[in-house]
Chain A
Amino acid sequence: RKSTLNPNAKEFNPRSFAQPK
């Protein structure tokens, strides 16, 4: 039980992410 990460966290929606060329 060392991980503090929550698998139920809300998904992040990027606003400005563009695919790298």
Chain B
Amino acid sequence: CVPVSQVTEQDEHDAESYLKRFFNLTEEKGPTGRRGVSAVSSKLSEMQRFFGLQIAGTLDDDTMTMMKKPRCGVPDTNIAS
């Protein structure tokens, strides 16, 4: 069976920083979205879609590995503003 992912608190913190930097994740205010999908989850899905990963909306080993890959520092969401 696939090894159980070891997502640590540090991983979650790093992932939030990554999503803020590159996918325009903003601080969550008030109740999460109508469907209870948190902003982090929907931004994770956006990142997973962008990078051809399994779109699960949750942090998995693949996604954490991809967040550590060397890249350009310009955000991936449209940043016209």
- Answer yes or no: are A and B bound together in one complex: no
Contacts from B to A (Cβ < 8 Å): none
